[in-house]
Amino acid sequence: MRALRATARQSLHSVEAVTAMIAGGASLILAGEETLLASLPRGRWIGGTIPYFMTAEAGGAVDRTQIYVQTLPEGASVAWQGVLDRASLPDLAAASGPDNGYTILLLPSQSDVHRDFALNGQSWPNLFRRPLAGWVTGVLLDRLGIDSPKVFDGASGTVSGDAAVVMHVALPDDAYARIDNVNLFEQDSGPALTFGDDGDSTGFTVEWVHVDGVRTRLVDHIAAHGIDIRLPLVADYNGAMINVATAGIDEATGEVTFFAPVFPGMTYRFARPVEDYERQFAEKIADATGEVAFSCNCILNFNYAKLEGKHTGSLTGPMSFGEIAYMLMTQTLVYLTIERDNDA
């Protein structure tokens, strides 16, 4: 098997260059500032807002003048694309998708569709019918509360901050898609944290947690132990380490808000620190194979690990406000590869 390799044009391009690609009939997944995406013509593309990227050329970058392009792999075609509102999103895996292919899903950060997918998506019918990958759109961090995350459907010209955009991609018979993720975080040796006991809240915002069975305000536990909240909570989902990143603490109410929900019945621990993001990302994907059709990483990794100007191996893409690999993830790198019968 050949090492990871990208499809053509997975990089930043000018508006003019992307316009030419669309006019030429290319099918694209795009990321960039709202004004840039809004200037594009209609066509076979979907997109979301974000100004943070991991590029092959410059490594981590903040760019508000260019658009990040991910093209479909050779032989692939768009089976369906469109906008799904809150009522229709649970049917995203319905028959409009191909039997052999994958789905790309973009969600605006902090929208109802973002929360619904995070909290309930695992129970939606046929969600695992085909590989599902994507990301949560965002804005420049300095513009939070001023600008709002958006998604774009190039086919219809729709722009939305409260709906999802979906692209079902069909693959030829000799190819199939596979989703993988790179999570550098592992549970530290601290106490077990559980949520939802004694009727306490779960989801994106909580106040109380049970620490080794003792009911405690989470904010007090964090303060008492000097916990660096840049480190996520980590839970073991049947052998897979899943992160829940902290968004902030409301000092007035004592509530802690997360970028992904916490669930009852799960045991969480804060993660141990990561010493060298750049090196460890490269090590994690050293033996990976396949043609990379899609990838994304987390804005929290970008910020906390100071990835601007650094690389994460051969995987590039938008630095998002959340990553999707069947479920919502945070502080994780997600990538989708295409394997072909003649690969060797």
Structural domain range at position 238: 193-270
The domain boundary residue, chosen from 209, 239, 270 = 270
What ranges in 77-214 are assigned the alpha helix state H? 112-120
Helix (H/G/I), strand (E/B), else coil: 71? strand
Answer yes or no: do 102 and 119 share one domain. Answer: yes
Say if 188 falls within a structural domain. no
Answer yes or no: do 139 and 73 share one domain. Answer: yes
Answer yes or no: do 326 and 248 share one domain. Answer: no
Answer yes or no: do 260 and 312 share one domain. Answer: no
Q: Name the domain count of the chain.
A: 2
Answer yes or no: do 126 and 11 share one domain. Answer: yes
Is residue 307 a contact partner of residue 277, using CB atoms and an 8 Å limit?
Answer: yes
Answer yes or no: do 309 and 216 share one domain. Answer: no
Beta strand 45-49 pairing with 28-32: parallel
- Closest alpha carbon to 131 in 72, 166, 178: 178
Answer yes or no: do 221 and 324 share one domain. Answer: no
Answer yes or no: do 207 and 312 share one domain. Answer: no
Helix (H/G/I), strand (E/B), else coil: 21? helix
The domain boundary residue, chosen from 225, 242, 270 = 270
| Measured distance CA(324)–CA(332) in Å, rounded | 9
- Closest alpha carbon to 298 in 259, 241, 258, 326: 259
pLDDT in tens, the chain (344 residues): 456 666 556 899 999 999 999 999 999 999 999 999 999 999 999 999 999 999 988 999 999 999 999 999 999 999 999 999 999 999 998 767 898 999 999 999 999 999 999 999 999 999 999 999 999 999 999 998 899 999 999 999 999 999 999 999 999 999 999 999 999 999 999 999 999 999 899 999 999 999 999 999 999 999 999 999 999 999 988 788 899 999 999 989 999 999 999 999 999 999 999 988 888 888 888 777 789 999 999 999 999 888 999 988 778 999 999 999 999 999 999 999 999 987 65
Answer yes or no: do 65 and 38 share one domain. Answer: yes
Helix (H) or strand (E) holding 82: strand 77-84
The domain boundary residue, chosen from 230, 250, 270 = 270
Residue type, 129: R
